[in-house]
Amino acid sequence: MKKKLSSIILSGILAIGILTGCGQTEDTVVVEEKDGYTVGVVMPNQTSERWINDGANMKLQLEELGYNVDLRYANDDIELQVSQIEEMVANQVDCLVIASIDSTALVEVEKKAQESQIPIIAYDRLLMDTDAVSYYASFDNRQVGHEIGEYIEKNMSLHTATEEGVSYTVELFMGSPDDNNAYYLYNGLMEVLKPYFDSGVLVCKSGKTSFEDTCILRWSQETAKERCAQYLDEFYTDEDLDICLSAFDGFAYGCIEALEEAGYTKSNWPVITGQDAELRATQNIINGKQTMTIYKDTRVLAKKCVTMVQAILEGTTPSINNNYEYHNNVKSVPSYLCKPEAVDKANYKKILIRGGYYTEKQLGE
Ligand code: BGC
């Protein structure tokens, strides 16, 4: 592990200062200066609440360990993210944490980082097509899909639907094709729900059930809204849409707008799923507009990622709980996968409020 000469000198000066007590008052022993390490953290955007929280948690927790943090957001602009990382490499940061927009666009800049011996950790989204990535911290993305599928299966009693002669109409709103997580979620979801599509318990009137037909580039809320409006207009004039299988809280907001504009009311409001347990989504769960979401505690993810950074910088091995699931087309990336949890009206108080994620006040309670 490279260590900047300036930081070694600085640590030495501080150590001497501390030992001799010369000129040092207690609060001049700034932990931040201890190793002089700088961690570059890049996040995709600030339009989605979760990345704001992820960035803030990472910064806070890294600074608590005494590291300097260069945190950047790229406004979902791929070129901007490339240039942010290029700048960090040029500035010789000690470690890079990357939550990518389109990771295939980062292969070259990751190579530059590797040549400069700057280790890289993939944050939440796997960095594809590179051997420059050391570790991956994320949630179990397949499990996210399972949780959504199992929620629908259980709460709509799909097991017994065939014998009861019940079926439900459903449309899918899946994640961005440049985000590896989106495929895992779709596959996990279909592992649970495909049998119900096959048996006719779930009926997709648009006929669009493949990932390719239902993915939404860059997780765009507007596209989700447009698509939902179009489905309602084309396929649901005689029969209501019963389930919006949405892979993201942002898509749920888009679907809600489209449904309201199409005249849906409480009496025929569909089940709507989501992901991230954003504040607005949780408020919508309370007021009945969204049915459930997937809670991914960004504090926990940041903590895991920070332990990876620390291990890399201190030359130890971080704890990993999966070595095989995430292959990025070049290598299996050692991963720590945190556990996602389904949240709805019945358990949000216990999970989100008592878990300290939101206060009652934030949720207007
Ligand atoms: C994340 C999700 C998030 C989505 C859209 C995915 O990579 O895993 O938590 O909802 O991006 O921002």
> Which residues, given as ranges, of the chain have pLDDT below 50?
1-34
The answer to whether the beta carbons of residues 106 and 79 sit under 8 Å apart is no
In a domain, 46, yes or no: yes
In a domain, 254, yes or no: yes
Mutate to test the pocket of ligand 1, among 215, 219, 246 (most ligand atoms within 8 A of CB): 219
Does residue 219 line the site of ligand 1, with CB under 6 A? yes
Nearest CA to 179 out of 39, 344, 285, 48 is that of 48
In a domain, 51, yes or no: yes
Tally of domains within the chain: 2
235-251 in b/e burial notation, b at 16+ Cβ within 10 A?
Answer: bbeeebbbbbbbbbbbb
Does residue 142 line the site of ligand 1, with CB under 6 A? no
Does residue 124 line the site of ligand 1, with CB under 6 A? yes
In a domain, 364, yes or no: no
Q: State whether 291 and 312 are in the same domain.
A: no
In a domain, 363, yes or no: no
Tokens 């809600």 sit on residue:
256
Q: State whether 155 and 124 are in the same domain.
A: no
In a domain, 310, yes or no: yes
Q: State whether 258 and 313 are in the same domain.
A: no
In a domain, 117, yes or no: yes
Q: State whether 323 and 260 are in the same domain.
A: no
Position 365 scores a pLDDT of 83
Ligand 1 atom at shortest distance from the alpha carbon of 275: 10
Mutate to test the pocket of ligand 1, among 43, 50, 141, 251 (most ligand atoms within 8 A of CB): 50
Q: State whether 110 and 95 are in the same domain.
A: yes
Tokens of 282: 């949780």
Identify the CATH number of the domain in which residue 228 sits.
3.40.50.2300
Instruction: Give distance in angstroms: CA of 25 to centre of ligand 1.
Output: 45
Q: State whether 36 and 88 are in the same domain.
A: yes
148-167 in b/e burial notation, b at 16+ Cβ within 10 A?
Answer: bbbbbbeebebeebeeeeeb
Position 282 scores a pLDDT of 98
Q: Which domain holds residue 51?
A: 3-139+297-338
Q: State whether 242 and 166 are in the same domain.
A: yes
C-alpha radius of gyration, the chain, whole number = 23
Instruction: Give distance in angstroms: CA of 248 to centre of ligand 1.
Output: 7
Q: State whether 146 and 285 are in the same domain.
A: yes
Strand 243-246 and strand 271-272: pairing? parallel
Q: How far is CA 302 from CA 85, 121, 222, 338, 357, in A?
A: 19, 12, 29, 10, 14
> pLDDT tens for residues 228-278?
999 999 999 999 999 999 999 999 999 999 999 999 999 999 999 999 999
Q: State whether 204 and 113 are in the same domain.
A: no
Does residue 296 line the site of ligand 1, with CB under 6 A? yes
First to last CA, the chain: 50
What SS3 state is found at 11?
A: helix
Q: State whether 47 and 154 are in the same domain.
A: no
In a domain, 362, yes or no: no
Q: State whether 146 and 180 are in the same domain.
A: yes
Mutate to test the pocket of ligand 1, among 53, 125, 179 (most ligand atoms within 8 A of CB): 179
Instruction: Give distance in angstroms: CA of 39 to centre of ligand 1.
Output: 22
Q: State whether 235 and 178 are in the same domain.
A: yes
Other CB atoms within a 10 A radius of the CB of residue 114 amount to 17
